[in-house]
Amino acid sequence: MTQPQARTTRRDQVADAALRVLGESGSRALTHRAVDSAARVPQGTTSNYFRTRSSLLEAAFARHAELDTPPEAALAGVADLELSDEEALDILMVVLDRLMDDASRGLLKARYELVLESSRDRDLLESFKSTREKFLALAEALVKARGCRTPSEHGKQLLVVMDGALLDTVPGASTALDRDGIRDLLARQLKTC
């Protein structure tokens, strides 16, 4: 039996549209009017929900984090896992495959637009740090589950390597690693622990 999907609220609709604008046109194109158009809502709707550009960026970031972070229920018991290198690698590749999928390319671009914006917006930076801590905890749990004795250090390294691999795919350059190259890179990273 399939679970019914949660109903998308108008706020989510607007935040999703903000992510599309960021992913398709960059942060300079993020205006209330552009988001209204992308969301196919009457003009003024976005500013009714998010009065400032900063609050619109916060909403886009929160929505991105919601879409990108596994639900808390799915994370229960992660700390108790025992994984082989191959199992850990398979988990990492499932995550990266989803993020690198052509259908997710816009969301990935929006992620990096938001990262850059967080370097200029103190409130957004705080949201970024909080979300980053959740991803770090997952990376630490994964390396610990495969027997790493220094999960804090190696979790950070794994997160940086994954970010680099993802960022390298964004422009679609011929020098970007293919899926097998990324898998090999992650396998080498896991072996350092």
pLDDT 10s digits, 85-120: 999 999 899 889 988 888 889 999 999 999 999 999
Between 178 and 174, the more confident residue is: 178
Cβ neighbours around 158 below 10 Å, total:
26
45 occurs within a structural domain: yes
Q: Do 92 and 166 belong together in one domain? A: yes
Cβ neighbours around 35 below 10 Å, total:
29
Domain that holds residue 153: 78-193
Q: Do 94 and 26 belong together in one domain? A: no
pLDDT digits (tens, 9 = 90+) for 154-175: 999 999 999 999 999 888 777 8
68 occurs within a structural domain: no
Q: Do 185 and 94 belong together in one domain? A: yes
CATH code, domain carrying 193: 1.10.357.10
Q: Which of 15, 31, 59 is the last residue of a domain?
A: 59
Amino acid at 139: A
Q: Helices marked H in 50-101 — which ranges?
A: 53-68, 72-75, 85-100
Amino acid at 172: G
pLDDT digits (tens, 9 = 90+) for 121-167: 999 999 999 999 989 988 999 999 999 999 999 999 999 999 999 99
CA-based R_g, the chain, Å? 18
